């Protein structure tokens, strides 16, 4: 067994050596050290020229930081965003190296990648992590479970790509939105049900979505009841339980789920359905407020506007246009504005995109 393990390790090192990606023993000139989300101190290139992002959250942030043209490979999640691809046309030349399967290490190395951005899912998978380690390419891990952790992740990426000013601008904006929400939440809390991707998938206590929704002062029925079926990082309920909760309002983060709930006969007994209180959360570059979304500040303002239309003052059209102008230098016209608010045509269907990983 020992001889076999040694042989496997030798083969990996030979492959890595042939690809010109030998591990760095010491920091090279021009490198600097970054501490990532899991506390690793990593020596990375000062000006990376070929970046692979295996973290759905980091792709849009890298574009925001002005380094989108350095992304040469990414996940299918980012590739499906029509707005992101429009804002950063160079992403059309990037290749998908991870869809729902394993990481395509061969394609990453073929792109002369000099920095990889991982999320915790890849990092914590021993097989995938061994594959990444064997390539000898520096990588940082971006991970968060809370809003505060997310802001720290933005700070890390700001340092990594040499644009701490833009990172701090975003962080300050997010904090200002939180402050506005906490001051604006008034009156008796409404009871809200949040549909995540699927009609009966929802929030659970301690989840990222539960945290940002709580900032609006609403009563999130699935979080407070605890009557859920947990499958990994996903939580599911039943239609029967939703009837027992009898929410005042339903919000959906996946396009057309709101139409399904409003039209399907099994949901018609809910008072919120009868009152038309079922809403699609807007979709921009990402699904606003999704666990991998950086547009959560907009989701908070949108929900506040929905919950407190008479007391919370916000012009969402102006807020949306200002957000994308400030952080991406992109002018949102009326056509894009309508598409974002409606949310139905903002993400490509889940199909093969370019050279998907096997």
Domain ranges for the chain: 27-162, 187-342
- Return d(Cα 213, Cα 171) in angstroms, integer: 18
What's the predicted TM-score (pTM) here? 0.89
Beta bridge pairs of residue 229: 236
Q: Superfamily for 187-342?
A: Nitrogenase molybdenum iron protein domain (3.40.50.1980)
Q: Are 200 and 237 in contact (CB under 8 A)?
A: yes
Q: Are 316 and 180 in contact (CB under 8 A)?
A: no
Predicted local confidence at residue 30, as pLDDT: 53
Residue 39 backbone phi and psi in degrees, to 5 = 85, 10
- Return d(Cα 296, Cα 289) in angstroms, integer: 4
Q: Are 122 and 110 in contact (CB under 8 A)?
A: no
- Return d(Cα 111, Cα 73) in angstroms, integer: 8
Predicted local confidence at residue 327, as pLDDT: 98
Return the SS3 of 223: helix
Alpha carbon distances (Å) from 81 to 60, 288, 349: 10, 12, 10
CA torsion 127-128-130-133 (nearest 10°) is: 180
Alpha carbon distances (Å) from 295 to 95, 96, 185, 323: 24, 23, 20, 9
CB atoms within 10 A of CB 145: 14
Predicted local confidence at residue 350, as pLDDT: 64
Residue 181 backbone phi and psi in degrees, to 5 = -65, -45
**What is the token pair recorded at 26?**
């010491």
**What is the token pair recorded at 83?**
């707005």
Q: Which residues of the chain have pLDDT under 70?
A: 1-30, 226, 350-358
Alpha carbon distances (Å) from 303 to 38, 206, 272: 32, 20, 16
Predicted local confidence at residue 186, as pLDDT: 86
Predicted local confidence at residue 241, as pLDDT: 96
The label of the residue with tokens 């042989």 reads 7
CATH topology of domain 27-162: Rossmann fold (3.40.50)
Burial (CB count <10 Å: 0-12, 13-18, 19+), residue 22? exposed
């Amino acid at each position: 067994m020992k001889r076999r393990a040694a042989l496997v390790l030798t083969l990996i090192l030979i492959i890595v050596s042939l690809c010109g990606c030998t591990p760095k023993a010491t920091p090279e000139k021009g490198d600097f050290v970054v501490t990532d989300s899991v506390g690793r101190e990593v020596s990375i290139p000062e000006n990376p020229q070929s970046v692979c992002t295996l973290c759905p959250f980091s792709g849009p942030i890298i574009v925001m930081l002005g380094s989108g043209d350095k992304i040469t490979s990414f996940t299918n999640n980012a590739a499906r965003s029509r707005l992101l691809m429009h804002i950063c046309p160079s992403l059309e030349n990037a290749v998908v190296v991870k869809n729902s399967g394993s990481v395509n290490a061969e394609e990453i190395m073929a792109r002369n990648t000099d920095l990889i951005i991982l999320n915790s899912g890849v990092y914590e998978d021993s097989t995938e992590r061994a594959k990444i380690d064997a390539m000898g390419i520096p990588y940082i891990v971006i991970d968060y479970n809370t809003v505060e952790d997310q802001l720290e992740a933005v700070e890390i990426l700001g340092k990594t790509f040499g644009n701490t000013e833009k990172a701090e601008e975003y962080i300050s904006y997010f904090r200002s939105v939180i402050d506005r929400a906490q001051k604006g939440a008034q009156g008796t809390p409404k009871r809200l049900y949040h549909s995540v991707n699927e009609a009966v998938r929802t929030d659970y206590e301690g989840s990222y979505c539960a945290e940002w929704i709580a900032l609006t002062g609403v009563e999130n029925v699935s979080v407070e009841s605890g009557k859920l079926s947990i499958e990994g990082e996903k939580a599911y309920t039943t239609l029967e339980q939703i009837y027992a909760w009898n929410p005042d309002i339903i919000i959906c983060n996946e396009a057309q789920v709101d139409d399904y709930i409003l039209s399907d006969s099994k949901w018609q007994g809910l008072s919120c359905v009868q009152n038309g209180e079922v809403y699609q959360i807007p979709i921009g570059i990402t699904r606003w407020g999704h666990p991998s979304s950086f547009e959560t500040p907009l989701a908070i303002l949108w929900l506040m506007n929905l919950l407190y239309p008479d007391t919370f003052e916000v012009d969402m059209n102006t807020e949306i246009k200002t957000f994308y102008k400030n952080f991406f230098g992109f002018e949102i016209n009326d056509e894009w504005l309508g598409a974002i608010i409606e949310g139905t045509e903002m993400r490509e269907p889940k199909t093969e995109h370019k050279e998907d990983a096997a």
